[in-house]
């Protein structure tokens, strides 16, 4: 007599299949985010490289990198100190790199970001609205007051998009070195503010001979590199109602922090990749916002 076996899985077989599926799901949950993150970093670095190439082309032709803030028409400068009122058509806190004829990556977005707020404080600070690309629809005319910082998210919904262009910060290397010497122990840029610039010949600079590109990184925060933790307070305390100099000091501060290499080992202290792979998070745990956030850091590209 033949033995008839009911079709289907036994309990043991079913449990085995469930266990295998659970293991595969667990591996996917652990491995997939890392794979996606590496892909995003690869894409972001490719975008930064393309932007950098266009900026170097501009420098070759013009002898300066495009100003993201400050004086645009160098031929119209007079001897420093020059003021906004003296040159109403040379100072513009606008999206200067977006009109760079050499830049074919004007729509290059930071695929990590959620918005323009790089320190998640609900307010757009000065350098947070110096974007590269076509998503910044707040058009500040050359003869208008410079953008003083503050929340414009309600008035300008276009700035609440799901992606934020890279923040572009040009600077004059000698000024950054000089400010750092004057700053003494300003290890995390805490003492850098407009009142700190006693010598007004620092602004405007003769040229912008270097730049950094910054994204917020996978953790959506520059941790104080773009915006000091007390930016609004020191702007108020120094009376910078027309903040040309404030833009410049913030730019120099961001450039100093973004390119800081305390170990002199060609590894940037605050770059996300270095903190993730090179142990910089352990060597330099405190970010410029004075918080110990481990690998939390922006993705940085510097001109040299």
| More confident call, 62 vs 288 | 288
Domain, as residue range, for 249: 11-302
pLDDT for residue 210: 94
73 assigned to some structural domain: yes
Angle between helices 173-183 and 244-258 (to 10 degrees): 90
- Is pLDDT of 265 > 60? yes
Contact 218, 272 (CB under 8 A): yes
How far apart CA 195 and CA 100 sit, in angstroms, is 32
| More confident call, 128 vs 70 | 128
Distances (CA, A) of 135 to 10, 82, 99, 149: 58, 31, 13, 18
Contact 201, 80 (CB under 8 A): yes
Window from 97-106, 168-177, 232-241, 267-276 with minimum mean pLDDT: 97-106
DSSP state of 188: T
How far apart CA 139 and CA 96 sit, in angstroms, is 11
| More confident call, 118 vs 198 | 118
268 assigned to some structural domain: yes
Window from 35-49, 59-73, 261-275 with minimum mean pLDDT: 59-73
Q: What is the mean pLDDT of residues 260-282?
A: 85
153-186 tens-digit pLDDT: 333 333 334 455 678 888 889 888 887 777 655 6
- Is pLDDT of 276 > 70? yes
- Is pLDDT of 76 > 50? no
Q: How confident is the model at residue 258 (pLDDT cuts 50, 70, 90)?
A: very high
How far apart CA 14 and CA 57 sit, in angstroms, is 63
What the block records as the tokens of 213 is 């590109």
| Residue found by looking up tokens 């009376």 in the block | 239
pLDDT for residue 92: 46
Q: How crowded is the C-beta side of 289, counted as CA atoms within 13 Å?
A: 20
At residue 217, the 3 state secondary structure works out as coil
| More confident call, 138 vs 21 | 21
Whole-number mean pLDDT of the chain?
67
3 assigned to some structural domain: no
Q: How confident is the model at residue 152 (pLDDT cuts 50, 70, 90)?
A: very low
192 assigned to some structural domain: yes
Percentage with pLDDT > 70 across the chain: 51
How far apart CA 291 and CA 285 sit, in angstroms, is 8
Residues 6+ apart with CB under 8 A from 257: 188, 189, 224, 225, 270, 288
How far apart CA 183 and CA 111 sit, in angstroms, is 35
How far apart CA 267 and CA 5 sit, in angstroms, is 67
Percentage with pLDDT > 90 across the chain: 5
Contact 204, 247 (CB under 8 A): no
At residue 3, the 3 state secondary structure works out as coil
Task: Determine the straight-line distance between the first and last CA of the chain, rounded to whole angstroms.
Answer: 85
Distances (CA, A) of 253 to 15, 130, 149, 171: 59, 15, 17, 10
222 assigned to some structural domain: yes
Scanning the chain, the segments in alpha helix (DSSP H) are 11-62, 173-183, 231-237, 244-258, 272-277, 280-283
pLDDT for residue 129: 64
183 assigned to some structural domain: yes
220 assigned to some structural domain: yes
| More confident call, 176 vs 121 | 176
pLDDT for residue 110: 61
5 assigned to some structural domain: no
Number of domains observed in the structure of the chain: 1
20-58 tens-digit pLDDT: 777 777 666 555 555 666 777 787 788 788 888 888 887
pLDDT for residue 212: 92
pLDDT for residue 155: 32
How far apart CA 68 and CA 96 sit, in angstroms, is 5
- Is pLDDT of 266 > 80? yes
């Amino acid at each position: 007599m033949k033995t008839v076996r009911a079709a289907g899985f036994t309990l043991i077989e079913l449990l085995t299949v469930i266990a295998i599926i659970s293991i595969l799901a667990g591996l996917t949950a652990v491995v997939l985010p890392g794979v996606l993150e590496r892909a995003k970093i690869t894409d972001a670095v490719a975008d930064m490289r393309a932007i950098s190439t266009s900026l170097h082309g501009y420098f070759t032709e013009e002898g300066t990198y495009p100003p993201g803030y400050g004086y645009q028409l160098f031929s119209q400068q007079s001897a420093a100190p020059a003021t906004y009122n003296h040159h109403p058509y040379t100072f513009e806190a606008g999206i200067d790199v977006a009109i760079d004829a050499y830049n074919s990556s004007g729509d290059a977005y930071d695929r990590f970001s959620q918005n323009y707020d790089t320190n998640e404080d609900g307010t757009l600070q000065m350098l947070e609205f110096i974007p590269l690309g076509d998503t910044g629809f707040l058009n500040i005319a050359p003869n208008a007051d410079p953008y003083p910082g503050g929340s414009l998210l309600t008035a300008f919904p276009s700035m609440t998009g799901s992606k934020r262009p890279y923040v572009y910060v040009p600077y004059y290397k000698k000024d950054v070195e000089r400010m750092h010497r004057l700053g003494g122990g300003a290890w995390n840029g805490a003492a850098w503010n407009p009142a700190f610039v006693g010598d007004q010949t620092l602004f405007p600079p003769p040229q912008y001979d270097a730049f950094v590109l910054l994204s917020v990184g996978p953790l959506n925060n520059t941790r104080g590199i773009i915006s000091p933790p007390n930016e609004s307070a020191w702007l108020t305390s120094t009376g910078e109602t027309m903040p040309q100099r404030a833009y410049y000091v913030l730019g120099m501060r961001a450039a100093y922090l973004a390119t800081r290499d305390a170990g002199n080992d060609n590894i940037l202290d605050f770059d996300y990749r270095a903190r993730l792979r090179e142990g910089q998070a352990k060597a330099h745990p405190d970010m410029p916002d004075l918080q110990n956030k481990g690998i939390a850091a922006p993705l940085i590209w510097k001109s040299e």
